Amino acid sequence: MATVKLTTENVASFVDELDTFLFDCDGVIWKDTEIVPGVPEALDSLRKRGKRVLFVSNNSTRTRSEYVAKMAKMGITANPDEVFGTAYATAHYMSKVAKGKVYVMSGLPLQRELEQRGLTCIGPGPDPVDDEGTMALPTHLAQLPLDPEVKTVCVGFDPHLNLIKLTKAINYLRDPECLFVGTNTDRSLPNPYDRLIAGTGCLVEFVANTANREPTYVGKPFTPIFDCIREECAEAGKPIDPSRTLMIGDNPLTDILFGNRHGMKSLLVFTGHGKEEDLAEFQADGDERRPHYTADSAALLAHV
């Protein structure tokens, strides 16, 4: 099916065929600290029509409650059980598979979500090198103490990444029984300054390449975050029907691929990463990154 451009003329009938709307956050609902104009009204319109609205983000630097607080400051009402960030989804996944202690290369939000699931974590926060750099010399790195109870390594966005942390992670992963989990594959971080900023995907690949191990990824476009959404919706008595679900995102490599891989409809908006002129790259038959629909902004959904 060729990609269809949504307009004020066809959007109402389009929405009638759907029950659940999954919104990416950065680049769709907000850009940096600014709300995308018209999106709060779109969310309100969908809810008034009895549609379910959920928020699905690959950002691992916020807990569910922190997402809700950010949205409240922007005038968006959301409940914690409507938010599926990768910190929360990773905790959901790891509560089923993790063994022993978890060495966490990430910020505190991921640790908090993991600990709420009963997992014991070590590693978040600074593990500093001394001013002279002697702690990062090979002789010192080779003697770093390792906790024998660590049986899982989890990597998210870690602003404190350094050689000490990397050395610990890759040595835990020398044990083939040690699990290796990455929150997401995004290689760059969105920002309003037209700069490239290394994202979580770069950090996970850094560890993976050095340890010669393949991680299990949780976030979009992979299945663990979809399973988290599906299972929790079913537990709440409101199962998701993928054929009547829309994934709305700004990134063909994560959001659109996620929706298409899991049997959903997909809508690419042009308020963030994706640009209309880039669509030609994804138009080959069978390309899972090709969106079913496009729109200039998710604000279009207010016209229903």
User: At 199, phi and psi to the nearest 5?
Assistant: -100, -175
Residue 32 annotated among the catalytic residues of the structure? no
Catalytic pick among 24, 127, 186, 250: 24
So what's the pLDDT on residue 135? 64
Question: What pTM does this model have?
Answer: 0.93
Q: Check if 24 is active-site.
A: yes
pLDDT at 139 over 90: no
In this structure, are strands 4-5 and 216-217 parallel, antiparallel, or unpaired?
unpaired
Strand order from edge to edge, sheet including 179-182: 121-122, 101-105, 150-155, 179-182, 216-217
Q: Tell me the mean pLDDT in the region 223-245.
A: 97
What does the pLDDT look like over 236-273, one tens digit per residue?
999 999 999 999 999 999 999 999 999 999 999 999 88
**pLDDT mean over 82-111:** 96
Residue 129 reports pLDDT greater than 80: no
Q: Is the pLDDT of residue 27 over 70?
A: yes
Tell me the C-alpha distance between 246 and 295, whole Å: 13
302 in Cβ contact with 40 (< 8 Å)? no
Q: Which residue out of 19, 26, 44, 278 is catalytically annotated?
A: 26
Pick the range with the lowest mean pLDDT from 15-29, 65-79, 129-143, 248-262.
129-143
Q: What was the pLDDT predicted at 131?
A: 63
Residue listed under structure tokens 């690949």:
205
Task: Look at the alpha carbons of 142, 147, 149, 152 in this order and tell me if their dihedral is positive or negative.
Answer: negative
